Structures are given as structure tokens and as C-alpha cells.
Amino acid sequence: MPRSVRILPILLILFAFAVRAEDAAPDLKEVRAFAEKLQADLIGGKLAEFDGAFDLDALTARVLKQYPQPDAYSQDFTKGFKQLFQLGRQIAGQLGAPSGFKLMKVRAEGGEARATFRFITGSGALDYHDYVIKGAAGSLKVQDLYMWSKGEYFSGTLMRVMFPNLFAVKKKEKPLGDDEKALELRYEAAKAFRQLVVKGDYAAALAFYDAMPADQKKLKSEMVLRVAAAEQAGDEPLKKAMAEFEAAYPADPTFDLATLDTYLKRKDWDAVHKSLDRLAAFAGPDAYLDFLHANTCIVAGKFADAQAAAEKSIAAEPALQDPYLSLITVTLKGKDFNATAQALARFEKQFGKIEADITKLDDYAEFLKSPAYAGWKKTHDELKSDAPK
């Protein structure tokens, strides 16, 4: 079996990326058009065209920038990576609704441009990805990708996953050099840390983190995992992990994404809203963040604020389904059943007939007894199942 196959078993299911400023940044109008095509290709299922927008030579150069020196093993990686690259399929497979992949903004940064996309998975997890774009006019390419929730570039993820596999193959044939041994230890430690978190051995994971070299502990990707482990280990470890993360990376969206669920679970509604506001400042105004504001207000019992946030989300992005559902929930909880009927009608006008049998859902029990239900049901029953816009 070729070395390239042996060292690339799981690389392409991960994505996340470090950049270098040089030359003039591309024209932002051209970058926006390029990014809009990326979005259209992914949503439209043109995944080969989406993958074709990546400069794989530049990406593999970023992956191998820490590799001690070019050799047959790094060449095998480069060859195999190019043959197996199907990032579009991986992203599309994790995407929920088409509206989950949406261009938010473009900007210049040094000698390159960034296109920020919202990414919502099928499970509802929120992330933002920065596509690093360079190239001459008319020939732009994506050179790397940064996942905010991980605090890591795709090239960095590939380094972390690929190097141990590459070295494992290499040292069967020849001894590793000192630089290679140092890299092997670093990336094996990162692997072991992640395995402890995935296994749920949180105390051991935190102890492992504490024993890491200072420079590795400071990596955002490691601090994200530390917060995830600390959340299960008690208040004091969590407070410490969050405080050190925020001190190391103040005003950083990775911190807000890493801690958002923590604030929600602890019912710290003010902290949730502040995190969402900071994310909006980083990503640009986002209707999905308004939806999250609405849901937070619902669980906090602030129904008027929830309704206002849901309406704001719908006005900004009518094709986003979630805020319509929030609006329905708000009206049910507030027992404003005329408004419930109106919210259900708005949903069906935008997305088509609701196929779920609401007569079997506890949340609708009181609505079903109201005159408003009879009026809505008549209109609902007249809709065809293939009515979505």
C-alpha cells in the first residue's frame, strides 16, 4: 500500500487554518463575486467546482511549513492529498439547510482577503469559517480555511493529524531526526489530549493539559478543548479555564463560540446575549444570531423581547426557518392563539405545508381548543404538500 494512502486515512473529515501577509490584497468586489460563487456551488451541489476553487499547492505548502525538510514522505502526502481532496463533499455532508452556508462579509487582511461564511450543521451547531483568498485578478483561489469554533486553520488541523501518521510510517524504515522527534511528541500529545476529552475522562484530560508545554497550552485549539473538559469537571476548573482563555485571547470569537453553550446551560442569559452581540460584531449582522437571541429570551421568559428578536431575524433573512419556529413558540407560551395561527400561516406561506401532526404535540394542546385553531386548520387543510416556495 502506498505511503500516501497509509498516512491519509482521516484527514479530509477535518477542516480548520495561519496566514502570511505579502503582496497586495485582491480587489474586494472580485473577492465577493468569487465567494458568492463558492456559496452557490456548495449549495447547488457543484462540489467539484467548489473543490476546484482551492489552491492545493499553496494549502499543502502551509501544511508542510513545519516539516523539517522535503523528502519522499512529504511528497507522498502532497500527492495523496491532492488525489483525495473532497472538502466540498465533507462540508455539504455536515450542512443542515442550504441557508446554513451563507456569505457574511469580505475584507482585506494584509496581502490576502478573507470571506467569512456562516456554517450551521444539521444538528444546529453554529460556526463561522474564514476562507483565505489570494491570487491575481481573474484567478483567485482559496489557500486555507479557518474555523472559528476550533481556533485553528485547516492546514493546522492537517499538521496535527497528518504528522504522527507520517512519522509512524517513516520510522519503520529509518530513524527520525531530532526535529522530527520533537514534532512527533508535540502532535502525539495533542492527539492524546483529544482522545481523553472524547472518552469523557475529563479529570485526566485537564491534568494532561496542565502538563503540556506552555506554548502548546496557549494554542486556541487546545484551550477550546480544555473548556469543554472543564465544563464537566466543576465550577472551579471551568472558571479557571474560561478566565485563562479570555485573558490569552481577549475579544476573540473563538472564545465566545466555545463558551456560548456553557452560558446557556448555566442560565446566564446576560452573558449569552453579550456573546451573541460580540459574534455579530465579528461576523457582521446575522439573522441566525437574532434567532439565538429570541430563543434565549424564550427560555428566560421574556416573551416580548423574544418576539421582537424573532421578527428582526425574519425581516433580515426570510429564508431562514428557525425564527418562524421561535415566533410560533412565543405565541403558544404567551397564549396569544390568534398570533399562533398567524405565525403558523406565515411559516406555511414561506416554506409550505407543515406535515407534522400538531394535534399530537403537547405544546399545542390549548391552541387546539381555541377558535383560532379552527380557522388556521381550514387554510392548512387546503394547502398542497408540495407548496414550499
Task: Give domain limits for the chain.
Answer: 3-170, 178-262, 285-389
Q: Considering only residues 59 and 20, tell me which one the structure prediction assigns the higher pLDDT.
A: 59
Per residue in 352-368, pLDDT (tens digit) is: 999 889 999 999 999 99
Structure confidence at residue 386 as a pLDDT band (50, 70, 90): low
What integer pLDDT is reported at residue 137 of this predicted model?
A: 84
Q: What is the pLDDT of residue 385?
A: 66
pLDDT of residue 18: 35
H/E stretch holding 268 reads: none
3-170, CATH topology level:
Nuclear Transport Factor 2; Chain: A, (3.10.450)
Residue-level length of the chain: 389
Residue 346 has pLDDT above 70, yes or no: yes
Grid coordinates representing 98 are: 442550504
Q: What are all long-range contacts of 167-172, with beta carbons under 8 Å and residues at least 24 apart?
A: 168/7, 169/3, 169/6, 169/7, 169/73, 170/73
CA-based nearest residue to 121, from 86, 148, 91: 91
Instruction: Kindly report the three-state secondary structure assignment for every residue of 109-156.
Output: ECCEEEEEEEEEECCCCEEEEEEEEECCCCCCEEEEEEECCCCEEHHH
Percentage of residues of the chain with pLDDT beyond 70: 93
The grid coordinates listed for 129 are 469559517
In angstroms, rounded to a whole number, what is the distance separating the alpha carbons of residues 126 and 148? 10
CA 33 to chain centre: 22
**Sorting pLDDT into bands at 50, 70 and 90, what band is 25?**
confident
pLDDT band (50, 70, 90) for residue 389: very low
Question: Nearest to residue 99, comparing CAs of 16, 32, 39?
Answer: 39
CATH number of 285-389: 1.25.40
